[in-house]
Amino acid sequence: MGKNFFKRVILFTLFISITLFSSSFIKSQTYTRMQKAYGDLAVARLEKLDKLMQDIKNTDEANKLVKVNEFFNNPNIIKWQDDMITWGKTDYWANRFESLGKGFGDCEDFVIAKYLTLLDLGVSEEKLFFTYVYANLNGKWISHMVLAYYDKPDDIPFILDSNTNSIKRANKRVDLKPVLSFNAKDLFLAQQASSGKLSAKSSKYTKDWSNYLDNLKKGDL
């Protein structure tokens, strides 16, 4: 075989590599960083996320919600574990890089991972709210966090929950009692009777939260 053949093989390989990385949601340096920090299993989880995002990027938002919720609820991706065990802290909010790296997270970490992934897939942040609730688990009410999705501002939101792959409107989740809901722009307090939405804004809190969220994204994928 001549030199021209090997040149064509090398050029073809480079073309494929460039095409893959250019169409990838995850940067090549992120894979390198993940490998160095957490090893092969973490890289495999990252690759699965990248593939998922490629597969659903052109689908409608309803499908994105279902697939992203199912993906992060899969214990082969992230298992629930208390922050004290995972991070040695009573309360630590991890970004996707950290959660996928460790393979563990608590309810806030599941919400953060879903939130950031849906943003990357083109869902408006104005539709997505971090929502603290009381959840009824085995007859006991415990503090919990879910992700609420508002298709329209006045709609009853759909709830993405690490405890279930089923996505229902808030008024159908009788096992949840909303307490506090917020995104990068708004904070809502106090449950409205029938809608599952929350009322009363606090601009100071949301300004602090917006700054925190910006910092959270800096260490992400």
**What percentage of residues in the chain have a pLDDT greater than 90?**
63
Give the pLDDT confidence of 179-202 residue by residue, as tens digits.
Answer: 888 887 776 654 443 455 555 555
From CA 25, how far away is CA 57, in angstroms rounded? 10
| pLDDT for the residue numbered 15 | 40
Domains detected in the chain: 62-218 (3.10.620.30)
String of DSSP letters for 25-62: SS-HHHHHHHHHHH-HHHHHHHHHHHHHHHHHTTS-HH
pLDDT averaged over every residue in the chain? 85
Give the pLDDT confidence of 140-192 residue by residue, as tens digits.
Answer: 999 999 999 999 988 899 999 999 999 999 999 999 998 888 887 776 654 44
| pLDDT for the residue numbered 153 | 84
Q: How confident is the model at residue 78 (pLDDT cuts 50, 70, 90)?
A: very high
Does residue 14 register a pLDDT over 50?
no
